[in-house]
């Protein structure tokens, strides 16, 4: 079982709690607990894991279960909180906000990134004399360039995946295409054959009027009239 205090050096409430917390830490052996303190400016990842939105923040941990202490911040209350097991009355941190969950681990990385960017901004403005607006402009340009590169990489990945899928046609489509190709090749004829058929058709059309004007055709007409 342990109690951990998250603080920041610039926080007035944290400065007021520091001597009380140090005195309470001397009771750790008698209470059989571990007492610790975490500077979130040096460990921004922990700030993200525990979703610390107010300072100071005190957490009670036992058997991997986290509870947030919200009582009075004095030594007597801390001691009674442990001795009388008042921590059992507190609501545990939900599973989706548990510090050891995947989503909180990802959030911790974002907190670390924000601290890195903050340090870069401080270095540009204080060490290199870059104006504040110039530092912001550099961050904007870097964001646009990185976003464009990531977008280009994403589009290339999609093109590669789509090209592979389009090259592998379903068996039904390939079968239909094969049947259509066979049918077309069977029905197709050479140019010479097409010319011969056209000439035969013209000869038939020329002979048709002669048959109509012949005597036999006239006799057939009169028989049909009778």
Active-site residues: which are they? Answer: 11, 14
Distance from C-alpha of 120 to C-alpha of 176, rounded to nearest angstrom: 62
Bridge partner list, 60: 3, 67
Distance from C-alpha of 83 to C-alpha of 26, rounded to nearest angstrom: 15
Distance from C-alpha of 10 to C-alpha of 7, rounded to nearest angstrom: 9
Q: Do residues 104 and 97 lie in contact, with contact meaning Cβ atoms separated by under 8 Å?
A: yes
By DSSP bridging, strand 34-39 and strand 2-7 are parallel
């Amino acid at each position: 079982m342990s109690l951990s205090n998250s603080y920041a050096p610039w926080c007035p409430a944290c400065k007021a709690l520091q001597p009380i917390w140090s005195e309470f830490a001397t009771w750790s052996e008698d209470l059989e607990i571990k007492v610790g303190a975490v500077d979130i400016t040096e460990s921004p990842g922990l700030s993200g894991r525990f979703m610390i939105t107010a300072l100071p923040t005190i957490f009670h941990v036992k058997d991997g279960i986290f509870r947030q202490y919200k009582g009075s911040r004095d030594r007597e209350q801390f001691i009674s909180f442990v001795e009388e097991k008042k921590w059992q009355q507190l609501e545990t941190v939900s599973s989706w906000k548990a510090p050891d969950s995947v989503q909180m681990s990802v959030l911790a990385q974002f907190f670390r990134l924000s601290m890195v960017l903050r340090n870069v901004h401080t270095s540009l403005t204080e060490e290199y004399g870059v104006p504040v607006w110039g530092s912001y402009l550099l961050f904007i340009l870097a964001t646009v360039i990185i976003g464009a590169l990531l977008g280009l990489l994403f589009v290339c990945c999609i093109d590669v995946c789509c090209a592979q899928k389009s090259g592998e046609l379903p068996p039904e489509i390939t079968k239909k295409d094969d049947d259509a190709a066979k049918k077309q090749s069977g029905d197709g004829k050479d140019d010479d054959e097409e010319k011969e058929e056209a000439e035969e058709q013209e000869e038939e059309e020329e002979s048709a009027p002669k048959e109509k004007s012949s005597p036999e055709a006239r006799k057939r007409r009169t028989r049909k009239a009778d």
